[in-house]
Amino acid sequence: MDATTAPHLIPAEMPQYGEANHIFELMQNMLEQLLIHQPEEPIPFMIKHLHRNNDNVPKVIILGPPASGKTTIAMWLCKHLNTNLLSVDNLIVKEFSVLATEARKHYQKTKTVPSMLLIKLMEERLAEEDCIRRGWILDGIPETREQALIIQSRGIIPRHVVLLSALDTVLIERNLGKRIDPYTGEIYHTTFDWPPQSEIQSRLMVPSGISEMETARRLLEYHRNIVRILPSYPKILKVISADQPCVDVFYQALTYVQTNHRSNAPFTPRVLLCGPLGSGKSLQAALLAQKYSLVNVCCGQLLKEAVADQTKFGELIRPYFEKKMAVPDNLVTKVLSQRLDQQDCIQRGWVLHGFPRDLDQAHLMNTLGYSPNRVFFLNVPFDSIIERLTLRRTDPVTGERYHLMYKPPPTIEIQARLMQNPKDSEEQVRLKMDLYYRNSADLEQFYGQAITLNGDQDPYTVFEYIESGIINPLPQRIP
């Protein structure tokens, strides 16, 4: 077993497997829990942790000033994500708990619960089966920096923290319209969130403490505390303006909660760029290859190279080129797999553009084992494409390529002698576009997790979008 006799290569399936199953994040979570709990018997603990398989359950903290709609948002998120809601009110009313009765006593006396007691109560609640299995959303806890620090030192780590913010004046006014349904506990608003059912309307009652003075006092308290809580969650915080309709706020919160944060897992990007002719795929691919040292694989280029090198594949491909016919799929895939199997592709990752033009080719590529982990569709409207392509010109003398709109030739005489590639004529472009549009729907359906971008913008803007698409983890769908 010598490296000289047979090369030891890591088979490409292993990194793909790791990526697909998020092994790195799994191990990271397990190790974190191990360090936090430090059990005597690590292995049964790890086994139990893996069995629980709750790395992806929602763990959210929602913070915000009074009357910002925290509870509403929290309840909606709970329903949508099928998880548990924890707030001071419903922690206190828990039955069968010594801590809860103590807390109740305190609350009756002073309208607050001491931090340590609250946190202990919270811990008790979080240790229950349903919180472990389905996750939790904390509404308004921690209230002070002290509580935040205690939570953190106990090892209760949220994945997302949502902060609702709005101007004080707005909040004070809004609070005056607050109504509560005594049966369900849901909060409605006279102006913004009026319930449609008349029986609910009839039984709504005005809660206590919504006068302006009261609200102002509470806001003051809130501002004092929130400034010191926020630095505890630097990387997982998102601020959402509460001054919008609550549905918008909810959707923003939901989208944020469903995204994963970037992890430190090793990641070799295998990017597929799809788009019609002239959408800028080659340009983006070149930029990506330059910045991230990926291998730029252009399918058409590969075939031309094969023909030029007069390899055996080239010999087979040449007659098709001469007749201007499409090269058959199996030949193309053979050439492609030859290129993608090379070591530099496997190690550095690749950017592919121009290959799966229809569903069969996509299936073929899949079965061969080269599945991309990021797919981008560049959408450019037809007119832009026509504009981009039909105005291309080449200078036959210098070989310089010009574009009549974006890169016009400097002098008139150069402009006089410019020539157009017959492939850039409008009919040809139209033909190719039709071909693309026929197949694009299938491809989009095949690559379910593809990211669609607007390709009509400045190339560097598009590049930034692509970059963020590559670097950020793919959005995960909660069942």
The minimum distance between CB 380 and other proteins, in angstroms, equals 38
The minimum distance between CB 12 and other proteins, in angstroms, equals 10
Nearer to other proteins, 14 or 474 (CB): 14
The minimum distance between CB 260 and other proteins, in angstroms, equals 13
The minimum distance between CB 154 and other proteins, in angstroms, equals 9
8 A C-beta contact, residue 118 and residue 87: no
Q: Which residue has the tokens 């998020």?
A: 22
* Structure token digits, residue 436: 């693309």
Cα gap 208→201, rounded to integer Å? 18
Residue 308 contacts by C-beta under 8 Å, 6 or more apart in sequence?
314
Nearer to other proteins, 59 or 189 (CB): 59
Nearer to other proteins, 5 or 208 (CB): 5
Cα gap 49→5, rounded to integer Å? 42
CA distances from 288 to 79, 272, 300, 456 (A): 41, 11, 18, 18
Nearer to other proteins, 8 or 324 (CB): 8
The minimum distance between CB 293 and other proteins, in angstroms, equals 18
* Structure token digits, residue 317: 């491909």
The minimum distance between CB 138 and other proteins, in angstroms, equals 14
Name the region of 454 (left: φ>0; alpha: ψ -120 to 50; beta: rest). beta
Strand order in the sheet with 374-379: 295-298, 350-353, 270-274, 374-379, 451-454
Nearer to other proteins, 148 or 364 (CB): 148
Nearer to other proteins, 224 or 401 (CB): 224
Nearer to other proteins, 31 or 471 (CB): 31
Interface residue list for other proteins (CB under 8 A): 1, 6, 8-11, 14-15, 18, 23-24, 27-28, 31-32, 35-36, 148-149, 152-153, 155, 157, 232-235, 263-266
8 A C-beta contact, residue 355 and residue 332: yes
Q: Select from 422, 420, 404 the least CA-distant residue to 412.
A: 404
The minimum distance between CB 20 and other proteins, in angstroms, equals 13
